[in-house]
């Protein structure tokens, strides 16, 4: 029983770290452009993987799958974080979190089409319930952060969710030949190369203005936190969980991210939290629980 719960525990903490990333990104974007932020984040994360680089290169040469690896890292972290950081320049963390509810539904559908994973009716009900809870959760909140163009920001976040869907399916397939640590290392190194080059280019960028004063050291601390806890810890735990569960089952946990983001927003950024949002949070958690209790997916027999 304890061993069976480990993938679920890993996914919960991955969502905890990722849910906090919305706040950390907003803080970091007050002093750094999206390209500088992501280059610094990936540079910090890559330091952790220096000892495993020789072994990773040997593993890549032996196990292959270069095309799928390229598709995975282009989808996430590269394009995913391009669209997400741009989205947070125009919309609030709460509204961006609303779009995260799309991910498990799209992943479940694409996993059915491409990975032949079956999804039970009970699971679909749980996913839809959680998605509805996320919509109410975000719509019922009062934004306390600057969101000059929320429609544009939400569209960009929706594109980011499409990138995350491709990543999830690729990572699920690659997990059959690579470990969670190896997959995470591939993402970090690709992200460092991509955003490192982008940071050197004269790309247009703007900074975020928060409705509250912050300490001058917080943007740098946020980048360090994003590079270590969120990138290394979050992706490591998520890749561990997705190795042992189906793609859709792992993606269902992403519905917890808006809940976690809003709770941390109340505690750290003094954001308001209404009774509707408390009720919607319970709906999200209930939906996730329902989707996990059923026999989520099974492979078709060939």
Distance of alpha carbon 72 from alpha carbon 174, whole angstroms: 9
Q: 264 lies in a domain?
A: yes
Q: 300 lies in a domain?
A: no
Q: What is the pLDDT of residues 43-87, one digit of tens each?
A: 998 998 888 888 888 888 888 889 999 999 999 999 999 999 888
Q: What is the pLDDT of residues 21-48, one digit of tens each?
A: 888 998 999 999 999 999 999 999 899 8
Is 134 within 8 Å of 101 (Cβ atoms)? Answer: yes
CA angle 10–26–84, rounded 5-degree value: 70
Is 273 within 8 Å of 266 (Cβ atoms)? Answer: yes
Q: 48 lies in a domain?
A: yes
Q: What is the pLDDT of residues 125-149, one digit of tens each?
A: 877 887 787 777 766 655 555 567 7
Q: 195 lies in a domain?
A: yes
Token pair recorded at residue 299: 């492979």
Of 111 and 168, the structure prediction assigns the larger pLDDT to: 168
Closest of 244, 299, 279, 289 to residue 136, by C-alpha: 279
Q: 96 lies in a domain?
A: yes
**pTM for this model (two decimals):** 0.76
What is the number of alpha carbons within 13 Å of residue 17 lying toward its C-beta? 20
Number of domains in the chain: 1
Q: 23 lies in a domain?
A: yes
Q: What is the pLDDT of residues 162-221, one digit of tens each?
A: 898 899 889 888 988 888 888 888 999 999 999 999 999 888 778 887 777 889 999 999
Q: 128 lies in a domain?
A: yes
Q: 302 lies in a domain?
A: no
Domain containing 43: what range? 2-203+212-293
In the chain the first and final C-alpha atoms are separated, in Å, by 30
């Amino acid at each position: 029983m304890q061993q069976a719960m480990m993938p679920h525990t890993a996914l919960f903490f991955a969502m905890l770290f990722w849910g906090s990333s919305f706040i950390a990104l907003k803080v970091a974007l007050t002093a750094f452009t999206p390209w500088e932020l992501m280059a610094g984040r990936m540079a910090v994360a890559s330091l952790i993987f220096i000892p495993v680089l020789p072994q990773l290169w040997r593993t890549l040469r032996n196990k292959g799958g270069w095309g799928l690896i390229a598709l995975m890292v282009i989808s996430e972290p590269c394009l995913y974080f391009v669209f997400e950081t741009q989205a947070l320049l125009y919309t609030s963390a709460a509204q961006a979190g609303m779009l995260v509810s799309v991910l498990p539904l799209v992943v479940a559908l694409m996993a059915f089409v491409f990975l032949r994973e079956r999804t039970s009716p009970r699971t679909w009900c749980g996913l839809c319930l959680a998605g509805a809870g996320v919509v109410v959760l975000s719509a019922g909140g009062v934004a306390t952060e600057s969101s000059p163009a929320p429609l544009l920001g939400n569209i960009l976040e929706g594109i980011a969710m499409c990138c995350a869907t491709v990543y999830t399916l690729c990572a699920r397939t690659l997990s059959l030949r690579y470990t969670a640590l190896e997959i995470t290392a591939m993402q970090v190194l690709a992200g460092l190369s991509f955003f490192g080059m982008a940071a050197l280019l004269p790309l247009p960028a703007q900074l975020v203005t928060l409705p509250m004063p912050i300490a001058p050291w917080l943007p740098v601390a946020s980048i360090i936190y994003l590079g270590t806890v969120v990138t290394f810890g979050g992706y490591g735990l998520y890749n561990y969980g997705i190795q042992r569960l189906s793609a859709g089952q792992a993606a269902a946990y992403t519905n917890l991210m808006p809940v976690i983001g809003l709770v941390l927003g109340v505690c750290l950024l003094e954001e308001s939290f209404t009774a509707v949002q408390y009720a919607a949070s319970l709906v999200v958690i209930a939906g996730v629980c329902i989707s996990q209790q059923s026999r989520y997916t099974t492979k078709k027999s060939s």
